[in-house]
A = this chain, B = another copy of it.
């Protein structure tokens, strides 16, 4: 790859192929189908983490589906497709406008549309239906739980006596006092009926197969959708201390402090802990994750002839600065510095794959998102370098409040922008990456992908 327009176009096509392979690997329906196999009434489930298990459906009266998250509908359709007449019913809560075109595809599973990221009454109603259904299950029921990003807000089911308005008031107080997202979630788990392993507890003694599409860097199961099928290491005492430490005990609705206080006194049992036998019956399976997407990207790049290294899926930090590090990796790669264990420099064309999710500190009032801002910062770092193409992709197809998934950066980006009268530094200073790449026609537009496993960075080099 050099910088002639033809070769640049060709390299972008290859980058598109790599990105499509990554997105296909984590399409929610495909991700579920890949981990769920039914033959002769035996349901075999295998995941990236955790051992394979097989369930004889003839030993169960009902196979039920519950769950919530933005990818809920295509995941439910995939379960319906695999289980067919073996599926008795279920309830899944999805985000408004995240229904399938064909409403019959989810079969007997009831789909609730609800609010995200701010929970609404529809979500409470759907989550309440899930809780009611699980209270009815016995050891003759098999529960499949479908979890994806957004599941925490969508499956909001506060303890009796706590209203939606109380929850909203709590959120305002906690955000206002500077509590971290982990602290906020510790409190939420202790006033909710499903979070922090309590969904699995409600389903007990039914075995639970939890199929998880992870939208959190590193796939911490207790964090994805607030971990409805995962032990909760935090306690009522922790929740109370957080409110005490920030001095907001008096600002939080009494319904909430009363509930936490009852928990402190032991009048209400705590969320289930790792040693709880409930989890013997639970199989958590990550069906899709950033790692899976990155592995698919690396495999496709290798297949297309790139000498490829997958580096990590744990990339975090301020977008524009992490982008400089990515640009540094690209420069080392194209200069032939990148050398793998057998002491051979990577052959050109070469590819590095990284995943994770960065953050943007807003400085201006432009339009953009994490991945587009990374592309803009990277373009400045690799200006006038030959043989480098970097693609940044948000796997949900929606980077920040834009219709783009990301953007391309190469050594010509800044010069081409200058010729169009665009100043890369000015756009970066104003967080206005979208309008920069829109005018260059270098946006990566996939449309909504119905999945979310964070972001990918692809570095392609040919010296």
Contacts and interface: CB of A to CB of B under 8 A. Distances in A.
A26 interface: no
Contacts of A291: 337
A84 to B, nearest CB: 36
A1 interface: no
A309 interface: yes
Given A218-B331, A315-B328, A317-B328, A310 B322 contact: no
A55 interface: no
Contact of A328 (B310, B314, B381): B314
Contact of A312 (B294, B317, B338, B341): B338
A337 B337 CA distance: 21
Interface in A364-411: 381
Nearest to A377: B317
A153 interface: no
Given A295-B339, A309-B338, A312-B337, 18 more contacts: A291-B337, A294-B337, A298-B339, A302-B341, A307-B341, A314-B327, A314-B331, A314-B335, A316-B325, A317-B324, A318-B318, A318-B321, A318-B324, A321-B325, A322-B325, A325-B325, A325-B326, A328-B356
A254 interface: no
A321 B341 CA distance: 27
Contact of A321 (B312, B317, B331, B339): B317
- 9 shortest interchain CB distances as A-B pairs: A312-B332, A321-B321, A317-B324, A314-B331, A325-B325, A314-B328, A340-B340, A315-B328, A318-B321
Nearest to A217: B328
Contact of A329 (B294, B312, B318, B381): B312
A337 B309 CA distance: 10
A175 interface: no
A301 to B, nearest CB: 10
Contacts of A311: 311, 329, 332, 337-338
Contact of A325 (B317, B333, B338, B346): B317
B341 A316 contact: no
Contacts of A316: 324-325, 327-328, 381
A314 B334 CA distance: 11
A251 to B, nearest CB: 25
Interface residues of A, number: 42
B312 A343 contact: no
Given A316-B324, A322-B325, A309 B339 contact: yes
A312 B339 contact: no
A332 B314 contact: yes
A328 B312 contact: yes
Nearest to A340: B340
Contacts of A313: 332, 337
Contacts of A315: 325, 328
Contacts of A314: 327-329, 331-332, 335, 337
Nearest to A329: B312
Nearest to A299: B343
A308 interface: yes
A428 to B, nearest CB: 13
Contacts of A307: 341
Nearest to A345: B310
A314 B323 CA distance: 12
Contacts of A308: 341
Nearest to A298: B339
A445 B323 CA distance: 31
Given A324-B316, A327-B314, A340 B337 contact: no
B346 A341 contact: yes
A118 B407 CA distance: 43
A309 B307 CA distance: 14
Contacts of A312: 328-329, 331-333, 337-338
A361 B342 CA distance: 39
11 contacts: A218-B331, A309-B339, A310-B339, A311-B329, A311-B338, A312-B331, A312-B333, A314-B332, A316-B327, A317-B324, A322-B322
A458 to B, nearest CB: 15
A456 to B, nearest CB: 13
A380 to B, nearest CB: 11
Contacts of A356: 328
Contact of A310 (B325, B338, B381): B338
